[in-house]
Amino acid sequence: MRVLIFNVFLIGTCCYAFVRGGAPERIVASLFPAAAAISVVWGRHISNAFVRPAYGLLAVDMALLIALIAVALRANRNWTMTVAAMQLIMVSVHLARILNPDTIRPVYTVMLAVWSWPMVLLLAVGTYQHHHRLKRNGRDRSWSG
């Protein structure tokens, strides 16, 4: 049930970002579901996925981290840097598991899942703030410099 609720939250937030967001919001709104879909494909055997480090999920999380950092470095938004930092924590969890295979399996699983919720929430808040600035000022610059 938790996965279903998260997927509804993710899809709803991404649709909201596509409709009301600027370029950074729309880019992140395309990255999140793409990463989620690829993770599902690579993590089909979920019962065995966390017995050892999930290298496929690590690859997806690394690619997402690189993309989020690229957006954060160019975007004229504060929330993008926070989302990139949260993604860095997720990658660090994978690396900790690789360096210490004795990491408790449920801790590894929960640490990977827990950061997804606030990341999607930040996309929603960032989209709301962009839309609010747009209504108030008539424009909201998407990219810095």
Examine residue 144 and state whether it is found in any structural domain, yes or no.
no
Examine residue 42 and state whether it is found in any structural domain, yes or no.
yes
Query: What was the pLDDT predicted at 132?
Result: 97
Examine residue 49 and state whether it is found in any structural domain, yes or no.
yes
C-alpha torsion 39→40→45→47, nearest 10:
90
Examine residue 65 and state whether it is found in any structural domain, yes or no.
yes
E-state strands within the chain: none
The residue segments making up the domain with residue 103 are 2-136
Examine residue 55 and state whether it is found in any structural domain, yes or no.
yes
Q: What is the pTM of this model?
A: 0.92
Examine residue 54 and state whether it is found in any structural domain, yes or no.
yes
**If DSSP codes are grouped into helix, strand and coil, which group holds residue 84?**
helix
- The token pair at 105 is 């399996």
Q: How many domains does the chain have?
A: 1
Query: What was the pLDDT predicted at 106?
Result: 80
Examine residue 141 and state whether it is found in any structural domain, yes or no.
no
- When pLDDT is averaged across residues 10-15 and rounded to a whole number, the result is 98
Examine residue 94 and state whether it is found in any structural domain, yes or no.
yes
Residue 45 has pLDDT above 60, yes or no: no
